[in-house]
Structure 1
Amino acid sequence: ADQFAKYAIESLASIGVKWIVFGSETNKIETLTNILHEVESQEKDPSKSWAQNSAYALQPNDILGIQYIKYCQKYGIIPLSIKRSAQFKSATQTRKDYFEKRTNEFLSEYFILNQQWSSYYPYLRLFLLMSDPSKIEQYFLVSEGIEYRLVEAAKKERTWEGFLSRTISKTYTRARIQRVCLFIMLQIEKQEMKNHDHFSCAIVLGFNGHGRQYLKEIDRSRVYTRFRALPPFLKRVHLKSKFLYESVMDKNVKDTIYVL
């Protein structure tokens, strides 16, 4: 949550955003702000996540919201929240229901069957088995010896779910395992992220009429609308992501990310 909020808010701040709105189970900015200040002032166990260092039983959107507030304070952005309830199905649950054929809510054009973690596991497994743990340790988010846990699980399990069952624990949540595995597959190293520790720009994915007008009004020097304009590091990340995405497809995907 901390990493996600950091780069998201940095990007929005770079184009002059003054307010952000996020979903929250608590739906009280003041309460979340007080929790933020309380936890930030305490001594933390570095082996635990931010949420695990908190005495509060926080819901996922509240955890992310607290991090939004943290970085909004840094950049002078006003955070607002809307009530998040069970009637709003999460993206994770929506995908799960679709792939398990439990919903007809979306048409198949919005989902690609190959784009599941299980499709990537053969590559991930082989990469873990063929790599020295000291090399794996260099990748971003790999810490506390988790590389050995991943390698051992890869030796014993030939399925993604089996691999997860051996790697998930109170310390290593499913979400954390997935994030670590993604950076391993993309081969993005800690030193690279350290050298590019800020995301003070915005990459345009699409816009409506209001967005078009906003783009006309802001400083466009930090707005990227073409691949060739990206800094070298972001070009590498984009290409690696595209190649990885295509690796489980029957054909290459047309690159239509930049639309201006």
Structure 2
Amino acid sequence: MHLKNTICSVKMLFQVLGKRVKYINTWKFKKQSISNKYINLYILPIICTFGFTGNHTFKNIETPLSTSEQRCLIKKDIYLSINEDNNLNQVEKKIFIKKIDKRLPKYIGYFKKHTKNSIFSWELIAAISYQESHWNHKAVSKTKVKGLMMLTKDTASYMGIKDRLDPNQSVYGGVKYLENIFKRLPKSVVGSDRIWMTLAAYNVGLGHLEDARIITERFGHNPNYWSDVKKHLPLLRLKKFYKNTKYGYARGKEPVNYVKRIQAYLNIIHEDKKTYLASLSFKEIFHKN
């Protein structure tokens, strides 16, 4: 598709997210100037061809999308990418729904507070937190990771967190660390793939994720697609594969299951919100703060 005056519109972005359009062509003389102005715009080594990366931040050449617009687009892409096979068993689902009623209200304020200006939605952070600690701010694992977001001592120190058991500090540190990972991923990883790889790296480490991406490419698959990378992450537990990697052995199946469960929790939170709103009267909805 060729556009004379704009890189894309919001409508165009949704076509890119839906993988109906992958690249936009522009004039050769514009290539360098656009590259200098928008560092998040990925330039392929092909004349005049541009692709979208990062947060899909371009409304047109002159107007970047706001954080809220970026979040809206990525949120849509996330829900489109969640597969039906991510469902929990019925017992797990019932337990989680009960925790939404009993525990989530205690912490939802922290999730909303620290995602107000973030690319991540509070629902996603809540889902991650449940997977990490089951919404127990006093949680401590055998490996001594602690708190709602189960931060390691090193991560907490890096994020400037003094008390990992403090729910406010824990959520703040977790969100900031996720944002740090998100920004460090290659620009060629986009949309929901970037979100799922961020989560996988939060679990297994960015180094191991990069090793898995390299293995994925060696097998002739796309290292920028989570659907491809998740098939190769488990290979990091096999010596014949991890012996040739930079970061070595990893329990590669864990981040795959980790992301899968968060997707399931996120889907339930989303459905629970719709059910809750449907139960309210017209007057109640428009008088909520």
- The bucket for the TM-score relative to the shorter chain is 0.3 to 0.5
Give the structure with the higher percent helix: 2
TM-score, length-normalised on structure 1? 0.36
TM-score, length-normalised on structure 2? 0.33
